[in-house]
Structure 1
Amino acid sequence: MTFARLEGGCGWDYSACMTSAPSKRLNAQDWLQTGFQALLQDGPEALKAEPLARRLGATKGSFYWHFADVPAYHAALLAQWETQAITDIVNALADEYTDVGRLRRMGQVIAQKGASDQMGLTAEPAIRAWAKGNAKAFETVARVDAKRLAYLGDLLYKTGIGNAEMARIIYAASIGMEELDDSDADRNGDAMGSLVDLVLALR
């Protein structure tokens, strides 16, 4: 007889699964979403099988059903954030129809992360803090920064600003404001708009 491997921590032990099967079958996305929440609330030390399982009311066996080990889980979490960190901005700029509008909006959405319901932007300060002590997180953040800077540089070029350093200035300002208290989100957006207007005045 062939037994399907069941979730819940019993591995291939069919008899154990008969008595301990979980009431809710978790999927990989459940674990990743919980990981983002844990990272925001408790930092990277919470990104381990046991504390994550406690948050979900599940067993470590459920975790290891979806991920080979904790490093594999971290890689999946970072890969999802990397995708969202780019697509969240693309989505936020979808209603802007001019390069100037996109330029102003891009800095604002990063600086206003506290006002966003998009996980890529909301989790960003926690991901950046994690990157200070984790090589894989550092590499992921570096790729995201490079893509965003390239996009900013292209927008500046299209609006008549050829100095590539201006992209770094705008981006660094948006990242710095991202670290301010969430209650300042609206003020951050206004400040970023003013900075972009000053840069555009150099044309």
Structure 2
Amino acid sequence: MVSESTRLSAQDWTRAALKAIADGGLAAVAVEPLARTLGVTKGSFYAHYRNRDELIAAALAEWERSHGDEGLAEFAAITDPEQRLRELLTTVVHAVAPLTPSVHLSLLGDRNDPRVKDVVRRVNRARLDMLTRTYRELGLPPDRARSRARVAYAAILGLVHLAQTDPDAPHSAVLADEAVAVFLPSR
């Protein structure tokens, strides 16, 4: 339990909200249960946020920041498109752990909420744009690059989904090698 003299930051609450979203969608973001999880009173929450909606907005903004354009900046900086794709696929597949909840997949359950719809759309767009640009740089024509990007992205989301439900998923190193073999165009 966090002592009352220990102050939680707004970021601590945002991280807790993101974990709750991954575990149960927006409905799982509730002040009292989060306070219990964090080992503090709900007064700590009100030192940072006026209400639950502000916390949800902060959590969605953090998820977008870390998983959209800003989160992809490290990969965007890789100038060799083959290396960029290899690094991106390897990193994503290694991050997929069996039975681990996903914020992205949980948000799909709340996809009709305008806040969620907009954030997921922007994150999807950032990821698809990077993949499309990478495939263009690898020599695919624009239409094929867009199509290949969509299929690769769908496969990545599918791996995340399978990992949430399959405790016997293959080791991530094997999956990373397969993803690279499937989605890196042959020259």
TM-score tier after normalising by the smaller chain length = 0.7 to 0.9
Answer yes or no: is 1:191 the counterpart of 2:170: no
Residue 28 of structure 2 corresponds to residue 46 of structure 1 = yes
2:82 to 89, 97, 100: 100
Q: Measure how far apart 1:161 and its partner are.
A: 0.7
Higher radius of gyration, 1 or 2: 1
Q: TM-score, normalized by length of structure 2?
A: 0.79
**Contact 2:13–2:45 (Cα < 8 Å) also in 1:** yes
Gaps of 5+ in 1: 1-20, 116-121
**Equivalent position SS for 1:160:** coil
> In the comparison of the two structures, how many residue pairs are matched?
172
Q: What is residue 71 of structure 1 aligned with on the other side?
A: 53
Give deviations 1:108-161, integer Å, cap 9, x for gaps: 32233236xxxxxx86x2332223225222321111010111111111111101
1:53 touches 1:63 (CA, 8 Å); kept in 2?
yes
Equivalent residue number for residue 11 of structure 2: 29
Partner letter of residue 47 of structure 2?
W
Q: What TM-score does the superposition give when structure 1 sets the normalisation length?
A: 0.73
| 1:41 to partner: Cα distance | 4.2
1:47-73 residue CA offsets vs partner (Å, 9 max, x unmatched): 111101111121212212211211110
Per chain length, whose mean CA-contact separation is higher, i.e. which structure has more relative contact order (CA < 8 Å, sep 6+)?
2
Correspondence list, 1:159-170, <5 A: 159-162=138-141, 163=144, 164-170=146-152
CA distance in 2, matches of 1:138, 1:131: 8
| Contact map agreement 2:19 2:103 (CA 8 A) in 1 | no
Residue 127 of structure 2 corresponds to which residue in structure 1?
148
CA RMSD of aligned residues (A): 2.5
